[in-house]
Chain A
Amino acid sequence: MTSGYAIVAVVVVALGTILVGTYGLRVSRTTSDFYVASRTVSPWWNASAIGGEYLSAASFVGIAGLIFAYGPDMLWFPVGYTAGYLVLLTMVAAPLRRSGAYTLPDFAEARFRSRGVRAVASILALAIGWLYLLPQLEGAGLTLNTVTGAPDWVGALIVTMVVTANVMSGGMRSITFVQAFQYWLKLTAITVPIVFLIVAWQMHGSESLTKPEYPVFRQDTEVTFQRPTSIHADEFISIRGTGEIDGARVENTVVVLTEGYHRIGQGSEFTFPKDAAVPHLSTMEHNTNEMWSLPMSSGQDFPLYGAYSLIIATFLGTMGLPHVIVRFYTNPNGTAARRTTLIVLGLLSVFYLMPPMYGALGRLYTPELLMTGQTDAVVLVLPTRMIEGIGGQLLGALVAGGAFAAFLSTSSGLVVSLAGVLSQDVLRLGGVRGFRISTVLAGIVPLAMTFISTGMPVADMVGLAFAVAASSLCPLLMLGIWSSRITKAGAIAGMLAGGVPALTAGLVTMFTDTGDAWYEILLSRPAAWTVPLGFTVMYVVSLLTPRYLPSGVQRTMVRLHAPENLGLDGSGSSSAEERS
């Protein structure tokens, strides 16, 4: 898999990002520039930037990997990531912009006039941001590992360094340019290769993707096992190579894998023969390609609960992501915020057409990933596998570059928003210096976390961040914007009641091995119970504590909902700023 072109692509993307960022350095001078680009960004720029920021490791490599492994149930990830923007558009886009705040804690304070609500919102925003950064870094590690064979931590370190340097030097203004550029780069990097791959698939005789057979090796395939792996072979299969099987050391000899379970040691390298059925990871459901293409085939316990929990988390979680929210303040007014969101919906729809195609082709061409469990690598491996020679290598380089762009852009957005929260609420350091110190801190914490997490699929990890956002900050936004009855006590109680269980569940699934316990699904997909909990507690506690109604709530509501150009009290910008 090691390819010089791919390394060049990754380096070019990293350098390009830094260059575009430095260009922004000349423009950004004041503190306001750093945070929100002085609100001079047009809807198209802004929408591209939101798209660039939002399409993360999960979107670029994770979704294809999950679909490849588990089939159409996982299509709810791209659907949810897109539909989240419809919910955001209809429920929060314009009022959020009109609140005139920089970050989510600012919104909490503007709406509730309370330091307490602000503090809780800050902590949750930080937790969600770090939870979301972690899979980006893991994804970067995986990408570099796949294309260069470097250890996992190298990619994470590179992404952290590039992003931190870039955010520190340019701030949001440059980030807006970087992000907009990244969206189009990512779209190109995922679309161009899939076009060629489909042509190649047609030329290979457009073999059916849903044959009633188990995936087989298309050619003699050399497989490296990065971690100790437990696999299940369905028929005996003779493999050749060096490594460790069921505790016995093998040196470059032919071994017969009998039917049943086998443990393969870390670092083993075996060549599997052509046309043999691919053994599968013992924790993964073994499906024929036909079964795989049907819904409810992923072999999870309680698939219906899992599907609905995922739907709730992604539909409602989008609005609670700190890096998405900060983008809305760069719109000149509420109307522009709505139009921006609509454009984002279109941009995302186009992008999310692609990953399922990679997942489906992977069943035919890269089935060994089902055995090693590195399903997230399917997007990266396919081009070199399907197209021989330099063409495949160039396409592989393009995909690797795009994936790296995905990690860089999402991490940049997250680091900007987290640094904003850190400098304002935690460190209480104002000005550009405070922002820079916070940036370093925002990047280092998740880097440290990558060393202790257990390797779960990146899209699943991102799903957990969504679940926390959906159960804590989503109720705050939705109820805060649309009901004037929410009190300070209710807001705090609701955020904690939804956010703390979701966060705990997320950390437990990420850092411990819950295995096959019946409650595993409740922890790995917590949204279906934590989201209703958050909403209910926030509303009920508010009704019970009318004494804590924030002062001037009517005035706040005017500011959130009245169009800016009417000159109503508290509205942020005047009609002179209006543009469409």
Chain B
Amino acid sequence: MTTPPPRRPVEKPTQRVVVTSPRTRAPRARRPYSGTREINEQSELGAVYMRTLIRAQRRLGLSVCLVATGALAVLPLLFAIDPELGRFRILGLGLPWFLLCVATCPMLLLAGWFYVRQAERSEREFAELVERP
């Protein structure tokens, strides 16, 4: 960020001075290394980087996993509460057959695809964060 030179009438020819300021509020002097080095040297900051990544990945993994498997896991309970549900037919198949044979696979694939996309994204973000000089 360059600040315009002050307009003051002086005798000397105008001198341009470049003044920059750090874009973040964090004190710059405390981070002379890249994140990679912080992590490799086992500093506090490095540990924070890693904790953030692990937490993000754990949260993502657990939520995708719980949503997908949770959706499946309510089915036995549902069928136990109301066995007549089994007589309901979709596309000529009984409801349990339709849900477990046909509907499950696309659901699992979608969940997996979403997870892979998000996990790779958060790894990219982590890489950008720690490789920033």
Binding site for B on A (CB under 8 A): 72, 75-76, 78-79, 82-83, 85-87, 89-91, 94, 210, 293-296, 303-304, 307-308, 311, 315, 335, 338-339, 341-342, 345-346, 349-350, 352-353, 356, 482, 554-555, 557-558, 561-563, 565-569
Pairwise interchain contact A561-B54, C-beta atoms closer than 8 A:
yes
* 9 A-B pairs in the complex with CB atoms less than 8 angstroms apart: A75-B96, A79-B72, A293-B94, A295-B85, A311-B76, A342-B109, A562-B39, A563-B126, A568-B39
- Give the distance in Å from the alpha carbon of A296 to the alpha carbon of B86 in the complex: 9
CB-based closest 7 A-B pairs: A349-B105, A295-B79, A294-B86, A75-B100, A90-B61, A307-B76, A72-B96
Chain A residue with minimal CB distance to B41? A569
| Given the contacts A83-B69, A86-B68, A568-B40, A342 and B113 also touching, CB distance less than 8 Å | yes
Name the distance in Å between B52's Cβ and chain A's nearest Cβ. 11
- Give the distance in Å from the alpha carbon of A75 to the alpha carbon of B111 in the complex: 20
Interface residues of B, dominant DSSP: helix
B76 neighbours in A (Cβ, 8 Å): 76, 295, 304, 307-308, 311
Name the distance in Å between A348's Cβ and chain B's nearest Cβ. 8
Pairwise interchain contact A86-B105, C-beta atoms closer than 8 A:
no
Cβ-neighbour of B130 out of A295, A335, A352, A566 (below 8 A): A566
Name the distance in Å between B87's Cβ and chain A's nearest Cβ. 7
- Give the distance in Å from the alpha carbon of A162 to the alpha carbon of B113 in the complex: 38
Pairwise interchain contact A311-B72, C-beta atoms closer than 8 A:
yes
Pairwise interchain contact A565-B54, C-beta atoms closer than 8 A:
no
| Given the contacts A87-B69, A349-B108, A561-B57, A554 and B42 also touching, CB distance less than 8 Å | yes
- Give the distance in Å from the alpha carbon of A246 to the alpha carbon of B72 in the complex: 46
16 extra interface residue pairs, beta carbon distance < 8 Å, beyond A79-B100, A86-B64, A356-B97: A72-B94, A75-B97, A79-B104, A83-B69, A86-B65, A89-B115, A90-B65, A90-B115, A345-B108, A350-B105, A353-B102, A356-B101, A561-B53, A561-B57, A562-B50, A562-B126
- Give the distance in Å from the alpha carbon of A558 to the alpha carbon of B39 in the complex: 8
Chain A residue with minimal CB distance to B64? A90
Pick the most buried of A339, A342, A562: most chain B CB atoms within 10 A of its CB. Answer: A562
B123 neighbours in A (Cβ, 8 Å): 335, 563
A293 neighbours in B (Cβ, 8 Å): 86, 94, 97
Pairwise interchain contact B53-A562, C-beta atoms closer than 8 A:
yes
- Give the distance in Å from the alpha carbon of A341 to the alpha carbon of B108 in the complex: 12
A555 neighbours in B (Cβ, 8 Å): 42
Pairwise interchain contact B120-A338, C-beta atoms closer than 8 A:
yes
Chain B residue with minimal CB distance to A293? B94
Pairwise interchain contact B112-A341, C-beta atoms closer than 8 A:
yes
Chain A residue with minimal CB distance to B66? A90
A349 neighbours in B (Cβ, 8 Å): 104-106, 108-109
| Given the contacts A72-B97, A353-B105, A338 and B65 also touching, CB distance less than 8 Å | no
- Give the distance in Å from the alpha carbon of A293 to the alpha carbon of B100 in the complex: 13
A356 neighbours in B (Cβ, 8 Å): 97, 101
Pairwise interchain contact B36-A83, C-beta atoms closer than 8 A:
no
- Give the distance in Å from the alpha carbon of A198 to the alpha carbon of B132 in the complex: 60
- Give the distance in Å from the alpha carbon of A345 to the alpha carbon of B127 in the complex: 28
A78 neighbours in B (Cβ, 8 Å): 100-101
8 A Cβ contacts from B78-133 to A: 79-80, 83, 85-87, 94, 96-97, 100-102, 104-106, 108-109, 111-113, 115-116, 119-120, 123, 126-127, 130-131
- Give the distance in Å from the alpha carbon of A80 to the alpha carbon of B82 in the complex: 22
Pairwise interchain contact B104-A82, C-beta atoms closer than 8 A:
yes
Cβ-neighbour of A554 out of B50, B72, B100 (below 8 A): B50
Name the distance in Å between A295's Cβ and chain B's nearest Cβ. 4
B79 neighbours in A (Cβ, 8 Å): 295-296
The answer to the question of B73 belonging to the interface, with a C-beta cut-off of 8 Å to chain A, is yes
| Given the contacts A335-B120, A338-B120, A561 and B69 also touching, CB distance less than 8 Å | no
- Give the distance in Å from the alpha carbon of A75 to the alpha carbon of B86 in the complex: 13
Name the distance in Å between A332's Cβ and chain B's nearest Cβ. 15
